[in-house]
Amino acid sequence: MELDLCPSVTLQTGTFSAVTAPAETITGAINANADLQRFMFLFVSGNYSRIMSDIHRTSGNFEVRRACTALQLVTILSGAYHSIILVEHDPTLYEGIGKSTIVPQVTESLRSAARDALVVLYTPAGDFTFHTLARKADRVVIIAPVTRNSASGMAGQWAERDRMFRRQKALEEFHGTQYYEQQDGSQGSLPAVVAGDAGAPGR
């Protein structure tokens, strides 16, 4: 059993993965994989969920459980028999309790469930408790959101590279057809300019 989060990230059965990613990344990966309908899928939310309403699953194999406390999360994980377990991290489950005791219990429950399943602990933004749980994960995945500024910045970089390339080509064509006058009065063709080889030996 595999779950492709994006072209370069694939999660597999028998692993506990801690994933930080935009909500649309995780919901898109679930909604786009029709094969998941064949497997027992458990979604565990906390006191609130950022992604539940955007998961389009109509299969009877899709089960939703809610953990209002960290101890309830441990109980749910201990009794899980599903092939895929997605736990949406909720930091409010760990407020006002002894984290030194409960966090190791949650960690062990996640790892135990991953012996026979694909287990994902998901959050759109990590916090101290999430990072503590993630230390025991088999794999930690961080997918940064694409912002408007970063997208426009990337587009600007490519536009500038394109302009530079066109100027370079124009310079090459100019060098190939023009002549220059050397200081001794003789003439000769200008040396060729090879893009990407500036400063290379023998050029």
Domains of the chain: 2-142 (3.40.50.300), 148-189 (no CATH)
Which residues, in sequence order, are CB contacts of 26 under 8 Å at separation 6+? 5, 19, 51, 86, 120, 122
| Ranges of H-type helices in 69-147 | 70-78, 99-113, 128-134
User: pTM value?
Assistant: 0.70
Q: pLDDT tens string for the chain (203 positions)?
A: 778 877 778 888 999 999 999 999 999 998 888 888 889 999 999 998 999 989 887 667 899 999 999 999 999 999 999 999 999 999 999 998 877 889 999 999 999 999 999 999 999 998 999 999 999 999 999 998 766 655 455 455 545 555 544 444 444 343 343 333 334 444 443 333 333 333 334 43
Q: How many CB atoms lie within 10 A of CB 132?
A: 15
